[in-house]
Homo-oligomer: A and B are copies of this chain.
Amino acid sequence: MERQRRIPEATVARLPVYLRTLLDVQTDGVTTISSERLAELAGVNAAKVRKDLSYLGSFGTRGVGYDVDHLLVQMSRELGLTRDWPVAIVGVGNLGAALANYGGFGDRGFPVAALIDADPTKVGTTLGGHTIRHLDDLPAVVNELGIAIGIIATPAAGAQEVADRLVAAGVTSILNFAPAVVTVPEQATLRKVDLALELQVLSFYGQRDSIGSSLREELGVSAESTNSGA
């Protein structure tokens, strides 16, 4: 009987939410948690929680719930959080600098290990304890520091080239902040954070609501409406 190790993408994206929730309740001294409670705290459906957790092969106890510590161990292991993943930030402009200074990464297993930029006037300067290296040095930097994840924080125009260079240097996990469509070969994993997109989506639903409410004002009808996201 072979282990069914194919975790759906949607589930993978929820595991970090469960993880964070579990860390919270663990801090509060909770040792056991039901799918119902976890669902409530994580903002999802209880059945979904159970199904998601079942992919981990992690067993809860019927009539009781899940052991928080055990679940955390399983989940951390599955997510690969038992080791550090050194991150390189490419593009030290406004956003890149903010990310470099953020600091919220290191304690969570994603230490910022390198800052990269293509601007010669920036190269050599220091930020948050790191000397900015030139984009051309990327392969060396990746090698020296064991970079596992690349964060693209360049303007849109440079994003694809940076992605290509990252992949060429052996970095197969990339997080793109640039407002541009970037593609990577199948071996690599790319995720994106797109501020403008998020705002425009909000605009879309906001407009709906506005139309709705002005209509409602006119008609004197009570509200009812859209929800999405989180």
Contacts and interface: CB of A to CB of B under 8 A. Distances in A.
A226 B184 CA distance: 11
A217 interface: no
A150 to B, nearest CB: 10
Contacts of A207: 79-80
Interface size class of A (residues with CB under 8 A): 35 or more
Interface in A89-122: 94-95, 97-98, 101-105, 108-110
Nearest to A206: B173
Given A81-B203, A95-B102, A228 B197 contact: no
Contacts of A20: 179-181, 196
A195 B80 CA distance: 16
Nearest to A41: B181
| Copies of this polypeptide in the complex | 2
Given A195-B193, A230-B192, A13 B201 contact: yes
Nearest to A203: B80
B188 A227 contact: yes
Interface in A57-81: 78-81
Contacts of A103: 94
A103 to B, nearest CB: 8
B102 A94 contact: yes
Nearest to A193: B193
